[in-house]
Amino acid sequence: MAIKALHVVIAVLAAFASHVGASDLPTCDFFHIPEGYLEASNGGAGNIKCKNWGSLEEAKSECLSTKGCDGFSFGGSGGAFSGCLKKNRAAGYNGNANYGGYHKNVMGCCGGESYSLQNGGSCSQTIATEQLVSQGKPAKQASLDFGGEASRGVDGDDNPMWSGNSCTHTEKQQNPWWQVDLGGTYQISKVVITNREDCCWDRLHNFEIRIGSENNSNLNAACISGQSLGKGETKSFSCPMVGRHVNIKIFDVEYLTLCEVKVYAMVAGASPTYRMLA
């Protein structure tokens, strides 16, 4: 059966290209092309070199350093990997679904990894960016005093003065706490807390941050503990944890006042989309 050779070029969609230049795009070496979409090579036609490699990275490196190599096939089992360097074609292995085809990327994308091209012929990478995920979310606290509602902690106003009506306030009690429900599970990156600047700023001491999926903070893991903030201080705490509920608790008989709490998480967003041109 005759199998035609497909010439593959990766280009930016015209609609997207009008907004983003090539210099704005991350780079990678190859796209991974599944055999189910592209026809495989014709029994060795177009091969530059066939051999066994110890790893996918070794195969990539040899293709990049070999003149005329536009891609390669790669696959195997039990630790044995083999394939062929290819010229001017998508590098699929003839009839063997265990072998993936890799074609040299000419425009750039993927952040250094190989991404599959689906049957529709398009490829888009997913890039996670750090975003504020706590603002306006439901919040609660151990008690209420002086009208300092828990919601003030995530109202977007980091005014450190009590007169600005933007700070929370509990009663004086044993181990007062405050908590925000992010409404979903996030890969949290950091928690930023703003302390009161006027009277009583020294109340925010010996506190901890707990993050997790449980509404009961005692069941969640601690990010930091034994922390204190200075007068009007805003401080960022690195918390690379997965969770929905973020809880702040003072370990003392004290009031808890927070003028703003900002929880940031890594959120997947849209990215450049590329298409296959035969």
**Alpha-carbon distance values, 86 to 97, 139, 163, 207, 237 (Å):** 18, 58, 71, 61, 50
Give the residues across from 33 on adjacent strands.
Answer: 101
pLDDT digits (tens, 9 = 90+) for 158-181: 999 999 999 999 999 999 999 999
Q: Taking residues 90-117, what's their average pLDDT?
A: 43
DSSP for residue 4: P
Instruction: Assess whether pLDDT exceeds 50 at residue 121.
Output: no
Give the residues across from 192 on adjacent strands.
Answer: 236, 262
Task: Determine the residue type at 97.
Answer: A
pLDDT digits (tens, 9 = 90+) for 193-218: 999 999 999 999 999 999 999 999 88
pLDDT digits (tens, 9 = 90+) for 28-75: 566 655 443 333 343 455 678 888 877 777 877 888 888 877 777 766
3-class DSSP string for 194-241: ECCCCCCHHHCCCEEEEEECCCCHHHCEEEEEEECCCCCCEEEEEEEE
pLDDT band at 92 (very low <50, low <70, confident <90, very high): very low
**Alpha-carbon distance values, 242 to 38, 133, 223, 231 (Å):** 39, 13, 11, 30
What fold is seen in the domain 131-267?
A: Jelly Rolls (2.60.120)
Q: Is the pTM of this model over 0.85?
A: no
Indicate the domain borders of the chain: 9-125, 131-267
